[in-house]
Structure 1
Amino acid sequence: MTPIFRLCDEHITRSAELDPVDAVYMGISGDFGVSTDYSPDGHAARHELLKSTLAALDTLEPKNDADRRAASHLRERLEADAAWYETGEQYADLSSPFGLLSTVRDSIDLLPTGGEEHWRKVAAHLAAVPGMLASWRSSLEEGVRRGVLAARRQAVEGAGAADKYAGTHDALVASYGDGPLAGELAKAAALAHQGYADAARYLREEYAPRAAERDGVGAERYAVAARRNLGADLDLVDAYEWGWAELARIEEEMRQEAHAILPGASVDEVIAHLNATQYVVGADAFLAWLKDKHDGAIAALHGTHFDIAEPLRTIDVTLAPGSTSGSAYYTAPSEDLSRPGRTWWPVGGREKFATWSELSTVFHEGVPGHHLQLGAVTVAGDSLSRYAKFSWVSGHGEGWALYAERLADELGWHTEPGTRLGMLTDSALRAARVVIDIGVHLDLPLPDGSRWSFEKACEVLRERGRAVEHTVHPEIVRYFGWPAQAISYKLGERAWLEARAEAASKPGFDLKQWHTAALDLGPIGLSGLRSALSSL
């Protein structure tokens, strides 16, 4: 192991020791404790680790290409994270439906439960929830003191999510049965549920009245967030204008696709027709449909356009009835592969599930999307640093997943009625995300000169982004509370497509080889993505 790879390994271990919750979520092997300190002192320790690792990196010289890639990625990510700390964002770390609250809650569902020792750790993690959320509240209070505030909307939405989390661990405890730890698990779950209830009360009654009125974070904070999510400094006004043009282009393609399904019908009429004809009823039927489509995609890809490692040929497909998210999401395999990659599908109170609009998301979250991408990193062996295996650049990762949706279309996988229109509506939603996210946070005018508001953002997502109704509210809350993450999909896809087009223009281009080489590189910020991929 070279000194740079050793530094990457040490940074992951020390990061896991300072943030055991994230270690569980990321699947890092090892026993790092059960509680993350989210107080100002805990944040200071993590910030200090970033700075000390960067200082150590400055003293090391790369010995080969793998070293240079590892050092470049480590530096870019740590500098982006350090800027986040230095602007005080840790004191306003409050977002919904994805955020610290959901990470703490979901991490418990990711713990292994294969034996008594594992169940003891589950109980310890549950019992630690109240203390962790109390430490988080101390950082939010420090933010109030410093004038670094989250938006009131995020506090109110976070309170609602915390209320819903109270009671959600009962099913996990019940799955243990009546063994000797049953009482300990029940007591620990009750502590966790009380912790969520206390957090809900604090957010609603104490924090919300003092929180920021404005949803947008402004240009300075947004630039830091964009760098952290995309790994690049972008011309955001240019990206905003591109987003509107891209949305219009997709809408024209949607009109053509709708006409192919029902000649003479509008997109709205075709969507109504598909909703009335292309669906399954009941959660069990939806889960069975999802599993069939995940398995079918793996079977179709392996040995043709990808060589999929044996441990990645299975995906755990999970319904998430307690999730407050409007969108499906993915968690990667654990480092030792004892925990498989998993796709999570919020139910949203539905009994009827429109399959025509869900198929493209299967490709996004499963294969050839996140599962293939993150799984390939997990099984990469010594060719990637340990830091690269556990770091994430949203522009790279979400860009690949959106590219994967388009690849599935190019491979002719949309054979069922309306599923290609479903892919296009998903693409329209991602383009709408670009204009909503940048427009809201930078307070840019819409093309007609009007200004953004929560209601206007919902309208654009619903009418131009074609979002399913039950997802509209949580999606907009997410964009407002997680600046610059929503733009990573379309802008990342653009970078992947440009890189592929450039590579394909050269003699001897082979798509399967290009895919393999691209995924083998691991995560890369968008600032270096095109040059890295186009030369493969």
Structure 2
Amino acid sequence: MTEAFGAHQIRTPTAVDAVAEKWVETELDLFPEYRVYIGRPGHEGEYSDYSPAGAERAVEAVRSALAEVQATTPVDAIDEVTKMDLARELQLSIDKHEAGFNQRNLNVIASPAQELRDIFDLVPTASVDDWSNVAKRLHNLPEAMDGYIETLRSGIANGNVPAIRQVKEIITQANKQVADSGFFFQLAANANGRLEAGSLPDSLQSDLDAGAQASANAYQKLSDFLRTELAQHAPEKDAVGREIYSLASRDFLGAVVDLDETYEWGIEELARMTSEQEAIAREITPGATVAEAIAYLDQDPSRKLHGTEALQRWMQETSDRAVDELSKTHFDIPEEVKSLVCMIAPTQEGGIYYTGPTDDFSRPGQMWWSVPEGVTEFDTWRELTTVYHEGVPGHHLQIGQAVYNKAQLNTWRRNAGTSGHAEGWALYAERLMEQLGYLDDPADRLGMLDGQRMRAARVVLDIGVHLEKQLPDGSGPWTGDYAFGFLGENVNMSREFVRFEVNRYLGWPGQAPSYKVGQRIWEQLRDEYARREGAAFDIRAFHKKALDIGGVGLDTLRSALLTPAR
């Protein structure tokens, strides 16, 4: 039995590990899509039960697992972290179920309305058998959609309905899947081109075509339901209120924070980021405002990429260079983790995101860019820090390291995580790259600060809107409509970007602040750890110890790093 988090000798599984592994197996049975995410065979082509009955079965399994883990006795520090964080996550699942989160789970980026389709981005497509499973999933999607609609309908009965703004946006998204140019029809039409060898039997191609039509019909059904039923009950107000928001914040951070203090801190942090950005702007062009410096950079052809192919190539080259250089100097990066594939996403919804490697690294970590329709030019000074955020030393190093650490962490620990931990680390990593000299060009630093300022602004916006706080100037309460102008003033992005981002915050409360608040907590933990270590503090060793713990909630991370060993 080992107690050092960073050690890589084989650890003898404990009773706590057994409960955690059992819970993973339960999740894999309840949520077959999870198998795709971690690369576990079985239940190919199946979906979770999105109906109210499915939610009840799931929460009963959660209650059982919580009782089991609470009855265990940890034998070492790794067990203590596992028990603490698994119990935290399970209890939160119960609390969210009882608060009716499933009944109002509709937003523009991360709800079943997207997830039923998104899973196809990750399923294997190299063989005929793989495409047979794709066809099965296409034919199973309508039943999953029916269950989802039933759950949303139960929200109507309970007066628990998402805001009309989200309903209207999802109608638009759903209608895109119904069109002949929609994702499902394109998936079926391009199947042969994604085979590694040979071609599909005619019968399978016909099955794929029929499945694509069935899935498109399911999205038509969702669109009709939203338009004719849910919209009639959806409130105009975007705010979800303190009770729902507090639960959502706990979920995304894995920590309890004082929301009122965090709102005031966000206002101060936004002012600090703005001041720092203004100083960099004057460094780029003497006497320039931020807008003038950006206009100057936007005219620089050496900093511009044309088309998604050029964007993908630049992303990959930048990522590969960072992995190569940092592995020699600042981090011990295992060979398996060095592989990171940069991709243009098959959707055009906006957003940049990362998907981790499978448990055996047969599918590497992937960085995805969902480029909005009509966007064809990209500025490298804006996006350099994004590559570091999503790749190394950001998400890919963080998540890949946890997956790699099989000798110490059970399956649940290797795949657990919170947004506050992950996104907080990624913002922490952006600042780290500045400290390591990778953003010495003032233009690249301006791009980093543009992102940091945006993240600070959305702490204020998100808490402000959903808790209906007073505006920073004291002129009245926050509203969803006011949020669009506020974000536009604090980011230098297209109107399409601002629109998508604000709609995301309004429909996904608590998620957006978890980036900057998570960064704040990471920095507080590092500083406190350094204070306790004194002259013996080693930042590289701190990073390794912290990442070897895995993607736990931030309250758990604090306990693991700062509680003295027994």
TM-score by length of 2: 0.91
Measure the CA separation in 2 of the matches of 1:109 and 1:130.
Answer: 18
* Alignment correspondent of 2:452: 427
State yes or no: 1:328 paired with 2:339. no
Equivalent positions of 1:389-408 (< 5 A) are 389-408=414-433
* Alignment correspondent of 2:40: 29
Measure the CA separation in 2 of the matches of 1:172 and 1:27.
Answer: 22
Deviation string for 1:35-82 (max 9, x for gaps)? 211000010111111100011112211111111111111011111111
Equivalent positions of 1:325-404 (< 5 A) are 325=350, 327-348=351-372, 349-404=374-429
Q: Which amino acid aligns with 1:179?
A: L
Equivalent positions of 1:92-131 (< 5 A) are 92-131=104-143
Q: Which amino acid aligns with 2:83?
A: A
| Structure 1 gaps, min length 5 | none
* Alignment correspondent of 1:414: 439
Q: Which amino acid aligns with 2:92?
A: A
1:360 deviates by: 0.9
1:534 deviates by: 4.9
State yes or no: 1:500 paired with 2:526. yes
Q: Which amino acid aligns with 1:205?
A: T
State yes or no: 1:151 paired with 2:174. no
State yes or no: 1:229 paired with 2:252. yes
Q: Percent identity?
A: 38
Summarize the Cα distance change of 1:354–1:535 in structure 2 as closer, same or farther, 3 Å threshold: farther
Q: Which amino acid aligns with 2:557?
A: L
Give yes or no for contact 1:21–1:104 (8 Å, CA) kept in 2: no
Measure the CA separation in 2 of the matches of 1:16 and 1:28.
Answer: 11
TM-score by length of 1: 0.96
1:12 deviates by: 0.9
Give yes or no for contact 1:165–1:322 (8 Å, CA) kept in 2: no
Measure the CA separation in 2 of the matches of 1:428 and 1:202.
Answer: 39
State yes or no: 1:477 paired with 2:492. no
Give yes or no for contact 1:159–1:203 (8 Å, CA) kept in 2: yes
State yes or no: 1:169 paired with 2:189. no
| Structure 2 gaps, min length 5 | 1-12, 193-198
Q: Which amino acid aligns with 2:140?
A: A
Length, aligned pairs only: 534
Measure the CA separation in 1 of the matches of 2:431 and 2:442.
Answer: 17
Give yes or no for contact 1:431–1:490 (8 Å, CA) kept in 2: yes
Q: Which amino acid aligns with 2:187?
A: L
1:457 deviates by: 0.7
Measure the CA separation in 2 of the matches of 1:135 and 1:531.
Answer: 40
Measure the CA separation in 1 of the matches of 2:516 and 2:491.
Answer: 13
Q: Which amino acid aligns with 1:62?
A: P
* Alignment correspondent of 1:264: 287
Q: Which amino acid aligns with 1:183?
A: S
Give yes or no for contact 2:417–2:553 (8 Å, CA) kept in 1: no
2:544 to 507, 512, 516: 516
1:161 deviates by: 1.3
State yes or no: 1:190 paired with 2:191. no
Give yes or no for contact 1:40–1:138 (8 Å, CA) kept in 2: yes
Give yes or no for contact 2:161–2:235 (8 Å, CA) kept in 1: yes
**SS state at 1:179 partner:** coil
Backbone CA RMSD of aligned residues: 1.6
1:101 deviates by: 1.7
Summarize the Cα distance change of 1:147–1:155 in structure 2 as closer, same or farther, 3 Å threshold: same
Summarize the Cα distance change of 1:352–1:321 in structure 2 as closer, same or farther, 3 Å threshold: farther
* Alignment correspondent of 1:179: 200
**Runs of 4+ residues deviating >4 angstroms:** none
